[in-house]
Structure 1
């Protein structure tokens, strides 16, 4: 769905992005049934990554009408579907949830290609290169804490961004329960309860976190983050995600 590829360079402990219009597919075939036998841990991590890829474009400085149309539907859809996949249901419910998550993934591909991402992916890229941790697991561990940090940095006069952050809180609360004001804590607790590891358990060290904070400052994802963040902010975010 995008013109992007990510190349891992283990010897250099880096992941780098390759982008070219020639990589845009003429036809993309998405088959949710290919994920039916994924272990729960992979479903959780990749599902949280897909949800991150519709939340970040919705909050992005480059959000637009097209990406909003994709993300407003996909964020609550993905949260509800992932909850079903992790808690269980009938065969029909599970298949429907797989279908929904596939659509969320497609929506995220189109949204991120047109509106960019944010601090979660800005950190997840370098952290993935510095460690052997799965990208989706890193995104899932960072997501609630990145949202908390961004929300704390919003200028109250920015009514557009305040409204969008309220939307995200509301969608999380609707799917996972609890009050919207505590939605990001609810997401963190739910993710951990469902089996998601923190950064320490993923093998990410303090040295890795410090190096990632430096690398993220110049990443393309950070350019679309809705608020300005410094290196100390990034270190604090990762500390909370441990």
Structure 2
């Protein structure tokens, strides 16, 4: 058996009510706290008050949209005189990524851009990050359990990662109650991201027995939870989707992702499409293209067969039609097309070419050509009922 390892947050707390332990745990890590959270997060004021009661001094950072390099640099400048000791990310993936990047770069000096992948050197951090505490309020990105922060670089029209093993959260508190009553379309987009992030690591060329164990359970439970939440509010389904997100974060941090995220990093940089929407729209087509290419090359299809069975089980389909059924269900749920966000056919070739350099593409189970990636993008824009594929029969 090949060697394997597992990198995850130093401490994880999961379950309803776990947020009550947040303030004491944060104060134990530092008394000068940067709280990164949008103004719309309802629990923000309560957490800030609890931190102040615990003797902490709190400086607020309010993200606007998905994190960008100008936003990050402005926050670093604002916090230069604060002498922060800990950074808390409270919110969705944007708040967590911005918080993680601040924790990494507040102690750093010199040219910060060199630490970024693709647009920089991907150089490791010279100074250890500040303790980072992640408290997600959506179930999707798994950013509470990843070692990277995704930041948009407008000058390059790309979303790229700042990555270092030491950026893993010191503490991740996942209280599914914070996701209750999340708006339906945010639940759909973020939930599809969560599901993608347990499917891609399971099919990844870097999969290992520990990530496999997390993904096997989460694929079925995550899809089942999403089916329920598209119909009605349900605390048990919120719990299951939050667990899927957490497991996906751990899995992708250790086993990597694939072509869905390889394309998503580029598309997110050239459009206004939310990350989860991109992932949901691309997932069925990437699954079909990967399976067809694996079959053409005579590669082992066992994992694709398993994923097809699990999707079919969650959606009431047959394994042979699982990937098409997934796309039909996504259409029925009303996920927007990427064209609505400016991803137009004239951009497909350039986006596909740029995606080839993505770190996520390196762990895709099979190499896909630029032409195949263009075809995936084109298929994602077809209307329901226009998709017709010859697929490998699943046992």
2-side partners of 1:96 and 1:164: how far apart? 28
The 3-state SS of whatever aligns with 1:201 is helix
How far the C-alpha of 1:197 sits from its partner, in A, is 1.5
How far the C-alpha of 1:14 sits from its partner, in A, is 1.6
Report the counterpart of residue 117 of structure 1 in structure 2.
257
How far the C-alpha of 1:88 sits from its partner, in A, is 1.8
Worse-superposed segment, 166-175 or 147-156: 147-156
2:208 is equivalent to residue 208 of structure 1: no
1:37-116 superposed matches below 5 A: 37-88=181-232, 94-116=234-256
Given candidates 266, 281, 286, the residue that maps to 1:141 is: 281
CA contact 1:44–1:82 (8 Å) conserved in 2:
yes
The TM-score, its normalising length taken from structure 2, stands at 0.58
Worse-superposed segment, 11-20 or 225-234: 11-20
2-side partners of 1:210 and 1:127: how far apart? 12
CA contact 1:78–1:101 (8 Å) conserved in 2:
yes
Report the counterpart of residue 186 of structure 1 in structure 2.
325
How far the C-alpha of 1:11 sits from its partner, in A, is 4.1
The 3-state SS of whatever aligns with 2:263 is helix
How far the C-alpha of 1:211 sits from its partner, in A, is 2.0
Q: Which has the higher relative contact order, 1 or 2, with Cα contacts under 8 A spaced 6 or more apart? A: 1
Say what the alpha-carbon RMSD is for the aligned residues: 1.2
CA contact 1:126–1:212 (8 Å) conserved in 2:
yes
How far the C-alpha of 1:35 sits from its partner, in A, is 1.6
- Return 5+ residue gaps in structure 2 as ranges: 1-144, 382-395
The 3-state SS of whatever aligns with 1:8 is strand
CA contact 1:127–1:208 (8 Å) conserved in 2:
no
How far the C-alpha of 1:31 sits from its partner, in A, is 1.6
CA contact 1:56–1:117 (8 Å) conserved in 2:
yes
The 3-state SS of whatever aligns with 2:171 is coil
2:323 is equivalent to residue 197 of structure 1: no
Q: Deviations over 1:144-200 (max 9, x none)?
A: 0100000101146433xx111111111111111121101011000000100112222
1-side partners of 2:376 and 2:346: how far apart? 15
How far the C-alpha of 1:203 sits from its partner, in A, is 2.4
How far the C-alpha of 1:215 sits from its partner, in A, is 1.1
The 3-state SS of whatever aligns with 2:366 is coil
Report the counterpart of residue 299 of structure 2 in structure 1.
158
Given candidates 355, 379, 386, the residue that maps to 1:240 is: 379
CA contact 1:131–1:208 (8 Å) conserved in 2:
no
- Return 5+ residue gaps in structure 1 as ranges: none
1-side partners of 2:303 and 2:286: how far apart? 15
More strand by share: 2
2-side partners of 1:145 and 1:3: how far apart? 28
